[in-house]
Amino acid sequence: MKRQVVSVLLLLVVILHVRAGGLPRVIVLTDAETDDRCSMVHFLLHANDMQVDGIIQSNSCFQRKGWSNEPWLKEMIEAYGKVYPNLKIHDSAYPTPEYLMSKVYVGDENPDHIKLSGGQCKTILPGAEPLIDPTEWEDTPGSDRIVEVLLEKDTRPVFIQCWGGGNTAAKAFQKLKDKYPSEYDRAISKAVLYCIWYQDGAGSYIERHHPKATILLNHHFSGSWDYGTMTNTMDFVNKYMHDGNNPLGDLYTQPYISEGDTPAFLYSLNNGLRSYENPTYGGWGGRFYKVDGFDNVYRDTGFSQLREWIEPAMHDFQARLQWCVTSDYNKANHHPVIEVPMGLNHTVCGGDTVRLIAEITDPDSFDVEAAWKSRGDMWSQKGITKEFVAANPLRFHTPWRCAWYQYPSGTYPGNVDLYIGSERKADMWFVAPEVSIPQTIHIILEAYDMSVPRLTSYARYIITVKPRR
């Protein structure tokens, strides 16, 4: 039988930020610990990639009284406002500082609601006996905001990021269940909690009493983004944040990258990896597996999976810090653009030849200085001058490159052989394996530019392979 050729021509829809279907909705719960404040600087620079529905100040087993009595968050958003005109030049999707301030709330900061001490946070795992019952707790503006967002008719998931404790969310879910019973199932099913440890009793309570909420429990931020791990980044922080030129960067409290809560929002970024669609997909915020005995509780697979993505995430951070202080679009680097008109999900049969073609463009012009900085010594040895490079950009300028690879998130247990066509045309094909039951294969396209800092864009294709009849 002649094999069917399935040509997937990808030309228009997935551009670095897929906004047609709406950005991922996020609510942050922060206890304002030092690493939270560092993560908040990073978070605000990604506010163009998320729909920020709430920033709620709360407490935890480490910061039992919270920090809403200090104006740290107001000062940080004011600093964001100072660099906002420049950020807007580089991406019009950045929200105004006024919008962000309108989403700030105070949640649960009652130390009596904390039933754990700091060290116990590391040992509380799924299945522990609940320690709290929020029924008699007072409502807070933060818990009411969570209720309000979940009750909206918008069907998108709401990613509630527990940088600190989750008690505010626990109270919101209890109120939702008791006061809005007819809406409860629909509303609670939209909630996705990303927990940096269980930093109070909320995780165990929600597992038991609100099982339709999804929980992602991350223990391996420790060893990847946390205190003391990236101490080699002091020069980076000094150069791009603590040099006195960036009002937002100046508020970064640590001398090196120390952002234990950053994986929570990296998971929700609309960067093409689609990791927020399913905990098992994996991306900048880690990859998760379903915990036995639970329908909707997941744990992260380890800090090495987070470390896999730190370099491109840090390059991205560097570029955004430079956007803060660069008022000329042409004097900063921006992400390559991936265009995909026919969608990312495709169904084929075993034995089909599947061809993937993407169109990639780079919005930036040839940066002679950056090219010479990276390759000038080599060119000089060949007698090539900077002036000659500038006069012949097509000869020396490779604006972007790409890589295709099979990511271990699909259900197909084997590997497929990927055959690369033209790199400059992002052309790749493979033969779908013969299967006895439907299986999925995840293929990720990375498009990265050749500038400084190197920026990477992604497109994740999910191919469902059906048995051939």
Cβ atoms of 27 and 53 closer than 8 Å = yes
Q: How far is CA 295 from the centre of its chain?
A: 23
Q: What's the pTM?
A: 0.92
User: In the numeric block, which tokens belong to residue 4?
Assistant: 């069917």
> What pLDDT shows up at residue 21?
55
Residue whose entry in the numeric block shows the structure tokens 């942050």: 28
Q: How confident is the model at residue 322 (pLDDT cuts 50, 70, 90)?
A: very high
d(CA 49, CA 95): 10
Which is more confidently placed, 204 or 121? 204
Q: Which helix (H) or strand (E) holds 299?
A: strand 297-300
Task: Please report, for residues 158, 200, 211, 301, 351, the alpha-carbon distance to residue 193 in angstroms, rounded to integers and kept in the order given.
Answer: 8, 14, 12, 17, 40
Q: How confident is the model at residue 392 (pLDDT cuts 50, 70, 90)?
A: confident
Residue type, 204: S
pLDDT, tens digit, for every residue of 346-364? 999 999 999 998 999 999 8
Residue type, 30: T
Residue 141 has pLDDT above 50, yes or no: yes
Strands of the 439-449 sheet, one edge to the other: 345-349, 456-466, 439-449, 400-407
Q: Give one DSSP letter per residue of 272-285, joined into a string.
A: SS-GGG-TTT--TT
Residue 15 has pLDDT above 50, yes or no: no
pLDDT, tens digit, for every residue of 228-286? 999 999 999 999 999 989 999 999 999 999 999 999 999 999 999 999 999 999 999 99
User: In the numeric block, which tokens belong to residue 398?
Assistant: 């490779």
d(CA 283, CA 264): 11
pLDDT, tens digit, for every residue of 67-107? 999 999 999 999 999 999 999 999 999 999 999 999 999 99
Cis peptide before 341, with omega less than 30 degrees from 0?
Answer: no
